[in-house]
Structure 1
Amino acid sequence: MTPELQRALQTCASEPIHLSGAIQPHGYLISCRLPDWSIHHVSANIEALTGAPPEAMLRQPLREFLTGDVIQTIAETVGFSDPGGPAQRAAVANIGPLAALCEVSVHAADGLVHIEVEPQQRGAGDRSPTVVAQTMIARVAQGEDEEAFHERVAEQVRQLTGYDRVMVYRFRHDDAGEVVAEARDADVPSYLGLRYPASDIPAQARRLYLHNRIRVIPDACYAPVPVLPDRTAGGQPLDLSQMSLRSVSPVHLEYLANMGVAASMSISIVAGGRLWGLIACHHRQVRHVPPGVRAAADLFGLFVSMRVAAREQQQAARIEDDARGARDALALRLSQSGNGRAALAGELDVVLRTLPADGAALLQAGRWQAAGRAPAAAAIAGLDAWLARAAHGGAPVATSRADDWCAQPGSTDGIAGVLALPLDPARGEWLLFFRCEQVEDVRWAGRPDEPFVIDADGTRIGPRASFAAWNETVRGASEPWSDADLRMAARLQLVLRDHYRTADARIAPHEELRARRGRLELDDHRSRLRQMSELLESLVHVSPAETEVLAERISRLEQDLQRLALASGSDLGALATV
């Protein structure tokens, strides 16, 4: 990565897009402070709605510009909402001297009540959003096939909104995104199957998609409308995170223009508290989507999120049930063996069922035993070096990349991911799980190593201009180890450590008894040697023949003592002192 590209990525990742200080021009903003409902912020275009210029509205009570019944409805909506939560639809009301029919939404944040107002065309969105969403849900709810479900979701959203192209866009583990389903007009290019680098939707943008489930840009060539004043009473920039009208990053608008997109809408898909993906909508002309239609899309998006989350939970529960059954079977076998430490090497086939992995290996004091797809014993040196760098605190450690633990990743026989459980690191004892590399032929929407256009002096960045398919073969990495994998590994580690302690407790008394017996035998030999020494001192008048016989017997005795010393591990020098 060049220094210029690195600076561009850092600039993009640090852009405070939630502090834009402006809204899109298709609506109006009024921000009040309770309990007196005094107006503290307005959008610069507010006069077109209320007939009063912005400076005439600031510090004035809201009742001077909205009727009491509208304010009461807004107050009730705020009362039922959580502070910091997303905006809620409050009313459809006639506002201003021209009695313009408007959709009113509201949310509370940082001590302010933010009221967003959008003019509504008469007759637009007459159908109940709830009824529309229920109809859409009924059309996609049948069937268990995930790919077909995503396709039906894209089709239903396109029928509802009329956009030229609707995509289901899923985030991967590395924050890159991939189009997994698409419904489109025949005249627009297909993006199905294309992958987009993580920099296309940076981290702060993904966080905002969690706050705003629906994001609409009716006209990507709009001129932003400033919020007056753009700072709070404390001098801080006004946080617009939860506002549906918030003006978006100029880089994003240029990105849309480079794609030939004049209007867009996105619906967040949230599973387990994280942004799973988006339902992304594109149109070639300016397109205003009525608030009622957006409300139906929001309800439909909530259903899609729940369906995705439920599917993931079912898959996780099935994997955990299988792992629990394997752990129970392993625990039973180890307990029946009498020595779980010694028996583990013979149970690697069962061990392999306790985690989603392709192979497992046991490293015990340099000995290597494996089951399934695992590297050869020659990989021990590289694994040892990686464990020395990565292991800490006795917790499982994992990597999905072969180059983390092998200097020559091409020599791993297709193995890339490793998850290691420390069983007894002091003795060099580890249990390792392996995953095969995922060889992928990826179709990128443009080159992923060229996510920005940088000017000559590096002071301005813009999005890439090309989205033509660019193919790349990716090797050397496995499916990443998930948090669920690490939790299952930690549970297996507890089971094995418990059996290790039990085995060590059984072995310890036996070893102590054998050592005690050895000490008693040694004391007995020492006593007999003393007696023999005393006897030898008394043998003064012995014939030469008898001396020869005695010397031969003493030589045999010394040999026996040497063998005894070697067998018992005692010091022969200690015996020689008697």
Structure 2
Amino acid sequence: MHQGSDPAPNLDLTSCDREPIHVVGSVQPHGFLLALEVRTLTIVQASANAPAPAAVGVTLDVAFPHLAAIVRRHLGEAGPLAGASYLRTVTLTSDAARLTYEVAAHRVDDLVVLELEEIAPSTMGVGLDVLTPRLRTFVERLQTARTVEDLCQLVAEDIRQVTGLDRALVYRFDRDWHGTVLAEDGNGALPSYLDLRFPASDIPAQARELYRRNRLRIIPDAGYVPVPIQPATTPAGKALDLSQSVLRSVSPVHVEYMRNMGTMASMSVSILVDGALWGLISCHNAEPKRVPLHARNACDVLAQIFALQLLARERGAQAEQRLALGAIQARLLGFMAEEDSFVDGLLKHPDDVLALVNAAGAAVVTADRCRLLGATPGEAEVRALYAWLSARSETDDVFVSEALSETIPEAAILTDRASGLLAISVSKKYASYILWFRPEVVRTVKWGGNPVKPALPDPGGGPDRLHPRKSFEIWKETVQGRSLPWSAAEVEAAKDLRSSVLGIVLRRAEELAAMSEELQRSNKELEAFSYSVSHDLRAPFRHIVGYSNLLKTREGANLSDKGRHYVDTIIEAAFSAGTLVDNLLSFSQMGRNALNKVSGDMNALVEEVRRKALRDVPPDRTVLWDIQPLGRAYADPVMLRLVIENLLSNAVKYTRGKAEAVITMGRLPPKDGEAVFFVRDNGAGFDMAYVDKLFGVFQRLHRVEEFEGTGIGLANIRRIVERHGGRTWAEGTVGEGATFYFTLPLREEVR
């Protein structure tokens, strides 16, 4: 027993994949081959061991008239052929010898290929009916098998009994085309390979394709001498395609492989599930031995029955898993539909999010947020994975890997939590992903010998080629950096969730678009109404103030003290109402005026506004100004001036109770493509419990008797900033001051 690491990680095995094993130009000697022109049945190619009458250029009618009649009848009855068809048993007389053959035929382009396999005297006259009881018993036993491994064991036992060979293996391919022996039956003449793994290079790609197209192959004697086909090419000038051949000679590499295994005869039957190559039933014998036709036909039937049962089991298991995952998905869909954001529906039900694909951890990641569920890498590592997924050039919206470090070497440090990754994109416009993680599962794989095949020099001076390994002693490999694989049902569940999320987002977007359209219409009507009302009210209020002042100056001497007080109250109220109307008019115009954005110096604008604000400060007040470097901003200068005027005048107003007022304006580092500005004061402050009301129209957090104002200034600020695509918010403490923030989108040239 040996131990090793990754099998041949840098070895190029493609030379085996390129070997043209379907056009080897020779057959095995336990029969002979004839290639006939399909219309005239003229022999155009023949194997060198064909009987003398079957010479190239001779018609089959001349060489073997009885056989020609059988072939014509077959060609007249046969439809499209997927492979070789056995016609019947014939006895041919040649040079005073009478030999009996099983005849098989298949089409290759404009040729019909006949293969005549000599029948051993001991099997003469034996048919498939001899094995019917065993086939019936096999079908009954299949119904009792509880697992796939049990099914495999049953077919291994029956195939070996039918063939009489020393050992029968059931060999399954994984997604990387490595094969594992799931079941075995033997008589002890050959070593056991049960549970051993064999590398994909043992059966290269073109051999697997032949196994898919031609279900059954035999090699009665690994020491055979190939019989060449003459001439070497067809009338079309190319080598004869032997993909469907029964007698086809095999690659010298395969013969060498058999000898190294200690086997001199073999038979393999392909296991096809839904037309795909699932695995092989591989049989071996220590001594040369030919399995007769009736036994091979029985094995073919057994393999097909087994494949159907296997397909039913696998489909049943997949359907059961899909049903369970579908129930979880339905719950998640309901949860997401109940929330304003699908993300909230997922975050509030982490167990279902993980159970949907049987993951240990998950993350929902957008450009600005990263939410983690269960056992995941840290936020920084998840964001790095998110950046890699977002930058991929592939258009597939689903990424699946059970060995993430093989795709992203830097992810090797994450194997304890993220050896496996399943990720779906949930936005076509913005990079947003749901990621699921699986931890590493360290396991030991037992290989049938060292899987590293040495490339050895060719004695003939050709390029180095791979040779089969000579030892099949168990070679152990520790597999690391891999999670349990994601099943097809789990990947489909993730895709279905993606479709559900996109559907919810689309529906919400449509609802929001309809609401936005309605709000825009309502806002326009309200703006028009407020503009009309405020515009029409300005003149009456001015008249009230004007005539009240005239009454006070001209008739004041005739009024009592109480009368003059009444007039002063009227003047003050009308003036306040007029100011309110002016502010309302200004507020309504904010949504009507077009923006004229330019890049400007913020410090210059603030200094200009500050000087104006200083004119309104009584000389007995002390105001300390701290204006920090503000850089440039891209905005409408007229509207931006209103924002700064409101903020600075508010700061002056709400610090009047302080012996020394301190007013600061600064700029924070940019965040998410925005420039962030603030105005801070040490004045009256406010209670954060009412911060949501602060920027509303007519919302005041202080009494008019304390601080004058109409409650529209901050609403104007918010409206102006939002029209620029920015945000506003505030922080404050009662008696200690307040800080007001606003943002403006950055432009590349002003960042």
Scaled by the length of structure 2, the TM-score of the pair is: 0.67
Give the total of aligned pairs. 563
Shift of 1:379: 2.6
Shift of 1:159: 1.4
Tell me the equivalent position of 2:483. 478
Tell me the equivalent position of 1:153. 155
Tell me the equivalent position of 1:12. 16
Using the alignment, how far apart are the partners of 2:22 and 2:50 within structure 1?
21
1:108 equivalent to 2:107? Answer: yes
Contact 2:172 2:180 in 1 (8 A): yes
Higher relative contact order (CA 8 A, sep 6+): 1
Contact 1:270 1:277 in 2 (8 A): yes
Q: Deviations over 1:370-400 (max 9, x none)?
A: 4455434333223123313446436322222
1:73 equivalent to 2:70? Answer: yes
**Bigger shift: 494-503 or 460-469?**
460-469
Tell me the equivalent position of 1:297. 299
Q: Deviations over 1:183-237 (max 9, x none)?
A: 1232422111111111010000000001221111111111111111221212111
Using the alignment, how far apart are the partners of 1:44 and 1:572 within structure 2?
91
Tell me the equivalent position of 1:59. 57
Contact 1:8 1:461 in 2 (8 A): no
Paired letter, 1:416: S
The structure 2 residue matched to 1:410, chosen from 394, 398, 413, is 413
Shift of 1:131: 5.1
**Bigger shift: 393-402 or 209-218?**
393-402
Q: Deviations over 1:415-456 (max 9, x none)?
A: 3222222111533321223333332200112222x2234228
Using the alignment, how far apart are the partners of 1:557 and 1:19 within structure 2?
99
1:565 equivalent to 2:716? Answer: yes
Shift of 1:297: 1.2
Q: Deviations over 1:538-568 (max 9, x none)?
A: 899999xx99x99699955679554223443
Tell me the equivalent position of 2:85. 88
Contact 1:362 1:431 in 2 (8 A): yes
Using the alignment, how far apart are the partners of 1:135 and 1:370 within structure 2?
58
Q: Deviations over 1:252-301 (max 9, x none)?
A: 11111111111111111111211111111111111111111111111111
Tell me the equivalent position of 1:42. 46
Secondary structure in 2 matching 1:306:
helix
Evaluate the alpha carbon distance shift between residue 5 and residue 365 of structure 1 in structure 2; reply closer, same or farther with a 3 A threshold. closer
Tell me the equivalent position of 1:437. 440
Secondary structure in 1 matching 2:222:
coil
Using the alignment, how far apart are the partners of 2:263 and 2:341 within structure 1?
68
Secondary structure in 1 matching 2:426:
strand
Contact 1:106 1:113 in 2 (8 A): yes
1:179 equivalent to 2:181? Answer: yes
Tell me the equivalent position of 2:191. 189
Contact 1:84 1:110 in 2 (8 A): no
Using the alignment, how far apart are the partners of 1:479 and 1:134 within structure 2?
42
Shift of 1:343: 2.9
Tell me the equivalent position of 2:134. 135
Gaps (5+ residues) in structure 2? 554-570, 577-615, 618-648, 654-706, 725-751
Tell me the equivalent position of 1:576. none
Q: Deviations over 1:473-513 (max 9, x none)?
A: 11112344455554443333222211111122223344455
Using the alignment, how far apart are the partners of 1:67 and 1:173 within structure 2?
51
Tell me the equivalent position of 1:281. 283
Tell me the equivalent position of 2:310. 308
Superposition map of 1:325-474 within 5 A: 325-337=327-339, 340=342, 342-355=344-357, 357-390=359-392, 392-393=394-395, 395-403=397-405, 404-405=407-408, 407-424=410-427, 426-448=429-451, 450-455=452-457, 459-474=464-479
Q: Which has the larger radius of gyration?
A: 2
Contact 1:133 1:300 in 2 (8 A): no
Tell me the equivalent position of 2:599. none
Using the alignment, how far apart are the partners of 1:463 and 1:488 within structure 2?
42
The structure 1 residue matched to 2:247, chosen from 245, 264, 268, is 245
Tell me the equivalent position of 1:208. 210
Shift of 1:34: 1.9
Contact 1:83 1:107 in 2 (8 A): no
Secondary structure in 1 matching 2:324:
helix
Evaluate the alpha carbon distance shift between residue 294 and residue 572 of structure 1 in structure 2; reply closer, same or farther with a 3 A threshold. closer
Scaled by the length of structure 1, the TM-score of the pair is: 0.86
Tell me the equivalent position of 2:639. none
Using the alignment, how far apart are the partners of 1:32 and 1:20 within structure 2?
19
Using the alignment, how far apart are the partners of 1:430 and 1:179 within structure 2?
39
**Bigger shift: 214-223 or 313-322?**
313-322
Contact 2:44 2:57 in 1 (8 A): yes
Using the alignment, how far apart are the partners of 1:125 and 1:344 within structure 2?
71
Evaluate the alpha carbon distance shift between residue 151 and residue 279 of structure 1 in structure 2; reply closer, same or farther with a 3 A threshold. same
Evaluate the alpha carbon distance shift between residue 45 and residue 431 of structure 1 in structure 2; reply closer, same or farther with a 3 A threshold. same
Evaluate the alpha carbon distance shift between residue 157 and residue 406 of structure 1 in structure 2; reply closer, same or farther with a 3 A threshold. same
Secondary structure in 2 matching 1:99:
strand
Shift of 1:103: 0.9
Evaluate the alpha carbon distance shift between residue 337 and residue 137 of structure 1 in structure 2; reply closer, same or farther with a 3 A threshold. farther
Paired letter, 2:403: R
Using the alignment, how far apart are the partners of 1:495 and 1:571 within structure 2?
32
Evaluate the alpha carbon distance shift between residue 176 and residue 7 of structure 1 in structure 2; reply closer, same or farther with a 3 A threshold. closer
Paired letter, 1:437: E
Secondary structure in 2 matching 1:413:
helix
Shift of 1:366: 3.6
Evaluate the alpha carbon distance shift between residue 342 and residue 135 of structure 1 in structure 2; reply closer, same or farther with a 3 A threshold. same
Contact 2:101 2:118 in 1 (8 A): yes
